[in-house]
Amino acid sequence: MAESFVLNTGARIPSVGLGTWQIQPAAVGDVLYAAVKAGYRHIDCAAAYRNEKEVGLALKKLFEDGVVKREELFITSKLWSGNHAPEDVPEAIGTTLEDLQLDYVDLYLIHGPIRIKKGTTMSPENLLPTDIPATWGAMETLYDSGKARAIGVSNFSCKKLEDLFAVARVPPAVNQVECHPVWQQDKLRKLCQSRGVHLSAFSPLGSPGSPGVNGPSVLSNPIVTSVAEKLQKTPAQVALRWGVQMGQSVLPKSANEARIKENIDIFGWSIPEDLMAKFSEIKQVRLLRAEFAVHPQSGYNSVEDLWDGEI
């Protein structure tokens, strides 16, 4: 079963990555070191997570200790909403590369179709309408320069992805979105497959306990738990394995060493077809709705607007 997927650039993206959102700066170094030792080769970062400096120190130590080589890792980062102006994009990746102590990232994403004034926080008075074509043009320049070996987007609906395809010279390689058995993204997955865009799943376990995440639990969903029982796996392993079998990379976050190991132990077994079919019976609910972006200044007057009806 796929331990990696091929992007439209020809590069391989490992199918399980370590998510670093909400891992405290003081803890992220040890977590990352343990994850790479456990076999992770894909690390998902972002300027917005405020821990890239500490990730960079851990990467440096991993390289110096000979645990792994730079070319064996797939490292993603993301352009923050305050840096959408084309002239701010090179500066943003420059800061990320300096913090991560790297010459390039394997993937650089627009963190979301939400823009704020430069140097401000995500609050209503700071929201601005996006200009994705202009921002994407600057992303394409980064791709040309080699500082980002692939470029893509995050939190883009089908419509926003189609709008981007209409103007893109370099097509996006990845769309990283919320995806798990309770929000399966069927329509978006089909579009991505038809367009050669890899779907990458953040919150593949439903992100329990995260701010802004409300709704049914993925890990205690009766279908997930019954499949786990039948296969003698944990609900988390089943949710992650489901994602990989659906063709997406999954980015579980954990700061617990035992769970870090458990989350990558999803190869060498599979969910049989009859049990995979049961996942289609799960009631679908988007857990991360991003209501904070709904405001006349952002150009989104409702949650439906933001997600183009995909809620």
Q: Any idea which residues carry the catalytic annotation?
A: 49
Distance from C-alpha of 115 to C-alpha of 112, rounded to nearest angstrom: 8
Distance from C-alpha of 166 to C-alpha of 255, rounded to nearest angstrom: 40
- Give 302-311's long-range contacts (Cβ < 8 A, gap of 24+): 306/113, 306/114, 307/157, 308/157, 308/158, 308/159, 308/160, 309/157, 310/157, 310/158, 310/187, 310/188, 310/286, 311/286
What 3-state DSSP class applies to 78? strand
Q: Cβ(243)–Cβ(182) under 8 Å?
A: no
Q: Cβ(297)–Cβ(124) under 8 Å?
A: yes
Q: Which helix (H) or strand (E) holds 237?
A: helix 235-245
Dihedral angle over CA of 30, 59, 198, 214, nearest 10: 30
